[in-house]
Amino acid sequence: MQGNKSEKICQGIAASGGYAIGRVCFVRHEENFYTEPVDRSIDAAEIAGEISNFHAALDAARSEIIALQEELRTKADATDLGIFDAQLLITDDQMLTRGVEDMINNQLKPADYAFFKVVEKFVAAFSVMPDSYIKERTADIRDVAARVLSHLQKRGGNSMHYDDQRIILAHDLTPSDTAALDRRQVLGFAVETGSASSHTAILARSMQLPAVLGIPGDFFEAVQDNDMLILDGYTGKLILNPTRETEAEYRRKHEAALIFFHKLAEENRLSAETRDGFVLQLSGNIEKVEDVDTVHEYGGCGIGLFRSEYMFLNASGVPGEEEQIATYRALLEKMNNECVVVRTLDIGGDKLDQALQRYAEPNPFLGVRGIRFCLQERPDILRTQLRALLRAGKYGNLKVMLPMVTCVEEILEVRSLISELEKELRREKLDFAANMPIGAMVETPAAALLAGPLAKVVDFFSIGTNDLVQYTLAVDRTNEHLNYLYYPTHPAVLTLIANCIAVARRHNLPVSVCGQIAGDPRFTPLLVGLGVNELSMPPNAIGPVRRVVRNLQMADAELAAHQVLECETPQKALNISMKMLWDVAPEIAELTAPEIASKQ
């Protein structure tokens, strides 16, 4: 017990390994965003960024209002929709925009604070008007302002300004909110929604931030800003107001984990080769060019998945051809001719973007997502992205991968677009990489069952187990209530994975796994035994997976995989893979699957 508060423990879903010990920063609900932001000063070098964040937030708010207006058009009286026209006028108001820019420029204030102050001046002026209609417009101004502020605070991460690093506690963090977190200020985070394979969890792992998701709602009632919290990202446990003994115990565990990983780093230059000489390629899943450094640090060979959508999310507009070329070129040059797999824009599902998507869907995961979005809704974006990829291809070893494929036609359509773009580039006398390898993500049951025909039109497969599990088992990967059914070792899932690998082998195509299980040592014996060529994972997972691979005998792994495919239940299958993990690398099992330790 610290102060007079008693220790409270709660169990959530382990989403990203590591320990965080520190004070809580409670992130508010969206509806409370109309409050005065912290008054602080910025450096002159930050002015341009703040102004661009301000305009991006205005654009995002404008798109939201237009979408709301569209949604209501069918349901409401046309006169009611006038409210939204009035709100749109506010987002377009030149005086307001200039007022905010002046304050950022001349008084060196951050965008959120400047915007709030200027809006308050408007509100004050409107409130004293004799006309009651105008007076009532102040509510609209505040409503729009709350929208803009919510975007600004997400973009700038400006809501957090503490002297020490904090653990974020929130009811929800979308993938874009998570991407906008400032790693220097955040020790880790815990949220009520989401599960281990949601994109919020994936980002946490990439950012090396310990995270726990799916926290019971009543836990929040006990927490206050500044409370002391321990977050155990390995087991999913949260301990609020820990006793001195508990805190000391976790500080010891934290220290021991740091020492273990420091020691493991000595193996970073070793190849991922089984004891009997089979070499696997371990590569990185990344979202940003800067993350290449972590892939190098952990000795990854290549990038198996560059999630290009993060160039679009939180951006102030759709990145143009030249901007994209610069990003891909930087990526390729940093990778020194090692293979880089860029996945084309995979928007939709839980990665939503108000600025790109024109309407809300009732079932986004079964909707216009991934390659469907690009072919169907925004072929202009796909064109620009493919042109940029073709042109950047000459700077290194680039492969392109298509997300959410369900049929052969989607690949053929992209291939025909590529041929057209190649002709266009030739006409324009612009250099490009011919014969760029094109791969399919196998992340829908349709793609896995159709592996034979798909193998004839692609150059490689990459198995996206995060979605493959979700779509095979009809389990929303972000739904914390269904976590108990989200089984990567479900016999139906394993049958699809095994089918895809067998087809790839018959066609001599490389096959990798790039879903989260590729970086989870509990599944390494199984995946190695099933015969994948490559495992692509968050960079900091490479060390533990390499250790497991190096301790395995291929013959034993193959035998285990064979037994796993005979299992009728997910748990039996997982037990076989984990038994092998405990046999060959107990130190890794202890850390990554401690809940199982007692059962062995």
Catalytic residues: 199, 514
Min dist. Cβ of residue 461 to Mg ion (A): 13
Min dist. Cβ of residue 514 to Mg ion (A): 8
Judged by beta carbon, residue 241 or residue 444, the one nearer ligand PEP is 444
| Binding of residue 443 to Mg ion (CB under 5 A) | yes
Give the x/- contact pattern for Mg ion in 397-436, rule: CB under 5 A.
Answer: ----------------------------------------
| Binding of residue 465 to ligand PEP (CB under 6 A) | yes
- Whether the CB-CB separation of 173 and 153 falls below 8 Å is answered with no
Show contacts with Mg ion in window 460-499 (CB under 5 A). Answer: 464, 467
Min dist. Cβ of residue 495 to ligand PEP (A): 17
Show contacts with ligand PEP in window 304-343 (CB under 6 A). Answer: 305, 307
Binding ligand PEP (rule: CB under 6 A), the pick from 202, 223, 528, 560 is 202
From 62-70, 437-445, 447-455, 577-585, give the range in contact with Mg ion by CB under 5 A.
437-445
- Whether the CB-CB separation of 54 and 101 falls below 8 Å is answered with yes
| Binding of residue 467 to ligand PEP (CB under 6 A) | yes
Min dist. Cβ of residue 518 to ligand PEP (A): 8
| Binding of residue 514 to ligand PEP (CB under 6 A) | yes
Running DSSP on this structure, what letter comes out for residue 399?
E
| Strands of 186-191's sheet in order across | 8-11, 237-240, 228-232, 19-26, 166-170, 186-191, 211-213, 13-16
Closest to 16 measured CA to CA, from 248, 148, 173: 173
Give the x/- contact pattern for ligand PEP in 278-307, rule: CB under 6 A.
Answer: ---------------------------x-x
Judged by beta carbon, residue 438 or residue 447, the one nearer ligand PEP is 447
Min dist. Cβ of residue 311 to ligand PEP (A): 14
Tell me the β-bridge partners of 525. Answer: none
Q: Which residues, in sequence order, are CB contacts of 311 under 8 Å at separation 6+?
A: 319, 324, 327
Judged by beta carbon, residue 422 or residue 443, the one nearer Mg ion is 443
Cα distance between residue 181 and residue 197, in whole Å: 19
Burial string for 166-200 (b: 16+ CB within 10 Å, else e) reads bbbbbeebbbbbbbbbeeeebbbbbbbbbbbbbbb
Among all chains, which residue has been given the structure tokens 């994209």? 324
Query: Could you please report the per-residue DSSP string of 502-561?
Result: HHHHHTT--EEE-SGGGG-GGGHHHHHHHT-SEEEE-GGGHHHHHHHHHH--HHHHHHHH
| Alpha carbon distances (Å) from 209 to 7, 97, 203, 240, 316 | 24, 36, 8, 19, 25
| Binding of residue 443 to ligand PEP (CB under 6 A) | yes
From 136-144, 304-312, 440-448, 449-457, give the range in contact with Mg ion by CB under 5 A.
440-448
Judged by beta carbon, residue 159 or residue 444, the one nearer ligand PEP is 444
Min dist. Cβ of residue 361 to ligand PEP (A): 16
Residue 514 interface partner, choices ligand PEP, Mg ion, none, CB cut-off 5-8 Å depending on type:
ligand PEP
Q: How many residues does the chain have?
A: 600
Judged by beta carbon, residue 298 or residue 306, the one nearer ligand PEP is 306
Closest to 518 measured CA to CA, from 496, 555, 488: 488
Quickly count: other Cβ atoms within 10 Å of residue 245's Cβ. Answer: 9
Q: Give the binding site for ligand PEP (CB under 6 A).
A: 202, 305, 307, 346, 443, 464-467, 514-515
